[in-house]
Chains A and B, each alone.
Chain A
Amino acid sequence: MKVGFIINPIAGMGGKVGLKGTDDLADLAKELGGEPVSLRKAQLALQNIEDTDIFFLTCSGKMGETVLEKTLFNFKVIYHAPEKTTAQDTINAALKMLEANCDLILFSGGDGTARDVISAVDMKIPILGIPAGVKIFSPVFCITPKECGKIVSTFTETSIREVLDIDEEAYRRNELSVKIRGEAIVPVSPGVQSGKAISDSVDAKIEVASRIFDDFLAGGKDVLYIIGPGTTTMEVKKRFGIDGTLLGVDAFRNGKLVSKDASEKHLLDALLEFKGKVVIIVSPIGSQGFIFGRGNQQIGPDVIKRADDIKVIASPEKLEFTPNLHIDTGDHELDEKLRGYIKVLSGYHDFKMMKVV
């Protein structure tokens, strides 16, 4: 089996620093202290491939070679990448792999990287994404890097999936606009995340927000809320009268913003001075079910560990298409600790027992 292997080395850097994507902002992300996560995640995926006979065709340096060198796999560099890589390098590499008759292209990145790969591959061979970007909405990505490794050597069937991407500029301006960017052939496996776009009811979100607000009033204690992105959590921000962000993470306390569109560092700083109760409120990404590690990487492991209560909220419509919840905080031990059942609030009086896997 011949597998093309591409890493987008800047993917995911914007996540923890609150940039919602790194497409045109790699330098800024680095300045803000963003770490390259896609190499680490790619390595994790490779470690979980059982078939050692796979032959990899890859790119030089951080776009593949650096990671493959650390494994026992045989590989050949067929694309020489410059020191500072751009989207065009992903496209060029994918085209080379297509010419070399690869059976599959395995890439590490986010929705932006997926778009670049499909623009070159054009449905001619299957692709599979290692989730390493900030936005990972497309159903071409595996649920975890680990799953990715397993699927590469075991898949027998493929299906056509849509590649989605958010308009990053609009995203940073607080507008959510998910667009279908094309199609891809993807291995069929429960380990590949689903991507059904769903709409949900405003009424349920208002009910959920009212409940959280009423619980706060009834509790009467000093609470620091850390609230994740999304339209459901936005209702909560509105109910508390907080001028929060739709797509960012906000922290507030006693009706006052502590940190708007916070980065992981901002959150940790806010927590450092605070001794009271900490409540994290997040809503899973529809149908994929991620509660941590997708689109809200600012709420990193150290922030989660400090929380006294984690409230997961979602409309019943969203839950209907979300069989299980997922986490990928990057901290394996913490992920394990959070796994099990959780009561998801889906109306003023309504909870649903959901499994976090």
Chain B
Amino acid sequence: MNFPENKKSCLVENFDFRLIFEKSKKNTFKKCNDLPENITRSTLSIPELSEPEVIRHYTNLSKINFGVDTGMYPLGSCTMKYNPRFTEHMATHEQNMVHPYQDESTIQGSLEIMYLLKKHLINICGMDDFSLQPAAGAQGEFTAMAILKAFFERKNDKRNEVIIPDSAHGTNPKSAAMAGFDVVEIKSDEKGYIDLEILKEAVSEKTAAFMLTSPSTLGLFEKNILEIARIIHGAGGLLFYDGANLNGIIGKVRPGDMGFDCMSLNLHKTFAVPHGGGGPGCGPIGVKKHLVDFLPVPTIEYDGEKYYLDHDRPDSIGKVHGFNGNYLSVLKALGYIKRHGSVGLKRISEFSVLNSNYMVSRLSSTYEIKNPDIPRKHEAVFSASRHKNNDITALDIAKRLIDYGVHPPTIYFPLVIKEALMIEPTETESKEAIDNYCDILIRINDEATKDPEVVKTAPHTSIVGRLDDVFAARKMILRWSPGE
């Protein structure tokens, strides 16, 4: 491990912050006079720069950026695994240059790819059918909730409550509420598992569903899942599985076998499709037989001779995405599954679990963690509460990690752990990379006692330090507009 010099590099120090539009030099481009008047525009809002200027602009931006291609990016709950290059090659192949308005007979290959992925997901998850339409995990959750709403409405059943544990992803309660359900939050027990006593108190004739993430955001496998399923089904409710953390169990146990009636997946997590700024994502949803009729349209089907999109489904909740979903994500995920095979998929969960437990064993004497003896699945949540004595917060530790050239973990989530540092190494990190990350965290712990100021004022090396993230989240500016 190299210790940071706590100063900015030359590039960072002299960085040209201007947007590419601000670098634009008016009238660099000449209007083409060979075109007829009626198809030319008088203004065009594109930056006027030469090719080398454009290349340098983006190359320099990439130098101050950080991604899975740069180093370890253990953002808990996000499964920031390496995105293999072969899937990118597949996706950029010219055979994929198809248009959604093309006749089905001319895109049989693409439809087959979608159908194959659906079949694989059905097998991997133990469901009866899948829709590949939702564009992200949260949209998948919402789609599943809309399906449950339709299911109960058809039965003229007035159930309107969805029970959710306090360790859930924040999207769960919002998805349920958006679908028109009331949300009943229940407290987890001391260790972070579902508290069966509270669950039994919460279920009633109003219970429509229980949303569960397993392994949970604390990295714990819900060991009482069969009892939980019995309680929910016994009350007439259904179980939804949030598949955001599937990486911890893939190939080992299937949500369908654990009693779940429907589920969401994140291809951009478990199946190595790029996400974050590299998206778009894809959040397929799986359902058991009794919910198949309600899936969004179109579904992808095969009649023995040809693949086709089925729009004629009277009980469907309708469309949730333009055209047929994010096709290239589907393609990449299929490539990833095919390359791994069933043995390889098992290895994903084995290595992701091994890596997180190795990390716990290295860090548990330095950073506070609840019940370090309980094996974790894909991730573990530490707490920086102990560092409060030196006035050091989880945010300070996260910022200091940047100086050491690694990405911070997820912080302040899950809410059930104060000053949370939620670390998910994923299976793609080597022992050396995890050791390096742990060494850095141990060193920062040391700094927090001996030189807290250096941690409190971090980062010292990055182009920007402590951004106003609340302002950024409330006032999002996602694209440049002329005149701004």
List residues of A whose CB falls within 8 A of some B CB: 340-341, 343, 347-353, 355
- Residue B113 at the A interface, CB < 8 A? no
Q: How many A-B residue pairs lie within 8 Å, measured between CB atoms?
A: 34
- Residue B183 at the A interface, CB < 8 A? yes
Q: Can you add 13 more A-B contacts, CB < 8 Å, to A347-B177, A350-B173, A353-B186? A: A341-B198, A341-B201, A341-B202, A343-B184, A349-B182, A350-B177, A350-B185, A351-B161, A351-B184, A351-B185, A353-B187, A353-B198, A353-B201
Question: CA–CA, A351 to B181, complex, Å?
Answer: 11
User: Which among B183, B187, B201 is the interface contact of A350 at CB below 8 angstroms?
Assistant: B183
The residue of chain B having its C-beta at the shortest distance from the C-beta of A349 within the complex is B177
Contact A353 B181, CB 8 Å, known A340-B201, A341-B198: no
The residue of chain B having its C-beta at the shortest distance from the C-beta of A341 within the complex is B201
Question: CA–CA, A348 to B182, complex, Å?
Answer: 8
Contact in complex: A353, B185 (CB < 8 Å): yes
Q: In angstroms, how far is the closest chain B Cβ from the Cβ of A208?
A: 12
Q: Which residues of A contact B177 (CB under 8 A)?
A: 347-350
Q: In angstroms, how far is the closest chain B Cβ from the Cβ of A303?
A: 25
Question: CA–CA, A347 to B183, complex, Å?
Answer: 9
Residues of B in contact with A, size category: 10 to 19
Question: CA–CA, A265 to B106, complex, Å?
Answer: 81
The residue of chain A having its C-beta at the shortest distance from the C-beta of B160 within the complex is A349
The residue of chain B having its C-beta at the shortest distance from the C-beta of A211 within the complex is B182
Contact in complex: B185, A349 (CB < 8 Å): no
Q: Which residues of A contact B176 (CB under 8 A)?
A: 349
Q: In angstroms, how far is the closest chain B Cβ from the Cβ of A343?
A: 6
The list of the 5 closest CB pairs from A to B, nearest first, reads A349-B177, A341-B201, A352-B185, A351-B184, A353-B186
Q: In angstroms, how far is the closest chain B Cβ from the Cβ of A302?
A: 27
CB under 8 Å from chain A, chain B span 92-131: none
Q: Which residues of A contact B182 (CB under 8 A)?
A: 349-351
List residues of B whose CB falls within 8 A of some A CB: 161, 173, 176-177, 181-187, 198, 201-202
- Secondary structure at the A interface, as helix, strand, loop or mixed, is strand
A-B contact pairs, 30 of them (CB 8 A): A340-B201, A341-B198, A341-B201, A343-B184, A343-B202, A347-B177, A348-B177, A349-B173, A349-B176, A349-B177, A349-B181, A349-B182, A349-B183, A350-B173, A350-B177, A350-B183, A350-B185, A351-B161, A351-B182, A351-B183, A351-B184, A352-B184, A352-B185, A353-B184, A353-B185, A353-B187, A353-B198, A353-B201, A353-B202, A355-B198
Q: Which residues of B contact A347 (CB under 8 A)?
A: 177
Q: In angstroms, how far is the closest chain B Cβ from the Cβ of A216?
A: 16
Question: CA–CA, A340 to B202, complex, Å?
Answer: 11
Q: In angstroms, how far is the closest chain A Cβ from the Cβ of B415?
A: 8
Q: Which residues of A contact B161 (CB under 8 A)?
A: 351
Question: CA–CA, A351 to B162, complex, Å?
Answer: 10
Q: In angstroms, how far is the closest chain A Cβ from the Cβ of B200?
A: 9
Question: CA–CA, A351 to B160, complex, Å?
Answer: 12
Q: In angstroms, how far is the closest chain A Cβ from the Cβ of B50?
A: 50
Q: In angstroms, how far is the closest chain B Cβ from the Cβ of A353?
A: 5
The residue of chain A having its C-beta at the shortest distance from the C-beta of B174 within the complex is A349
Q: Which residues of A contact B202 (CB under 8 A)?
A: 341, 343, 353
Question: CA–CA, A348 to B160, complex, Å?
Answer: 13
Q: In angstroms, how far is the closest chain B Cβ from the Cβ of A99?
A: 39
Q: Which residues of A contact B173 (CB under 8 A)?
A: 349-350
Candidate in B161, B176, B183, B185 with the most chain A CB atoms within 10 angstroms: B185
Q: Which residues of B contact A343 (CB under 8 A)?
A: 184, 202
Question: CA–CA, A349 to B202, complex, Å?
Answer: 15
Q: Which residues of A contact B201 (CB under 8 A)?
A: 340-341, 353
Candidate in A340, A349, A352, A355 with the most chain B CB atoms within 10 angstroms: A349
Q: Which residues of B contact A355 (CB under 8 A)?
A: 198
Q: In angstroms, how far is the closest chain A Cβ from the Cβ of B231?
A: 14
Q: In angstroms, how far is the closest chain B Cβ from the Cβ of A190?
A: 15
Q: In angstroms, how far is the closest chain B Cβ from the Cβ of A333?
A: 21
The residue of chain A having its C-beta at the shortest distance from the C-beta of B415 within the complex is A320
Q: Which residues of B contact A341 (CB under 8 A)?
A: 198, 201-202
Q: In angstroms, how far is the closest chain B Cβ from the Cβ of A194?
A: 16
Q: Which residues of A contact B183 (CB under 8 A)?
A: 349-351
Question: CA–CA, A355 to B189, complex, Å?
Answer: 13
Q: In angstroms, how far is the closest chain B Cβ from the Cβ of A138?
A: 25
Q: In angstroms, how far is the closest chain A Cβ from the Cβ of B266?
A: 24
Question: CA–CA, A350 to B177, complex, Å?
Answer: 8
The residue of chain A having its C-beta at the shortest distance from the C-beta of B162 within the complex is A349
Q: Which residues of A contact B186 (CB under 8 A)?
A: 353
Q: In angstroms, how far is the closest chain B Cβ from the Cβ of A136?
A: 26
Q: Which residues of B contact A349 (CB under 8 A)?
A: 173, 176-177, 181-183
The residue of chain B having its C-beta at the shortest distance from the C-beta of A351 within the complex is B184
Candidate in A347, A348, A350 with the most chain B CB atoms within 10 angstroms: A350
Question: CA–CA, A340 to B201, complex, Å?
Answer: 9
The residue of chain B having its C-beta at the shortest distance from the C-beta of A346 within the complex is B185
Candidate in A341, A347, A355 with the most chain B CB atoms within 10 angstroms: A341
Question: CA–CA, A351 to B198, complex, Å?
Answer: 13
Question: CA–CA, A349 to B175, complex, Å?
Answer: 11
Q: In angstroms, how far is the closest chain A Cβ from the Cβ of B402?
A: 29
The residue of chain B having its C-beta at the shortest distance from the C-beta of A340 within the complex is B201
Question: CA–CA, A81 to B173, complex, Å?
Answer: 59
Question: CA–CA, A355 to B195, complex, Å?
Answer: 13
Candidate in B173, B176, B184, B198 with the most chain A CB atoms within 10 angstroms: B184
Question: CA–CA, A351 to B202, complex, Å?
Answer: 10
The residue of chain A having its C-beta at the shortest distance from the C-beta of B180 within the complex is A349
Question: CA–CA, A350 to B183, complex, Å?
Answer: 5
The residue of chain A having its C-beta at the shortest distance from the C-beta of B166 within the complex is A352
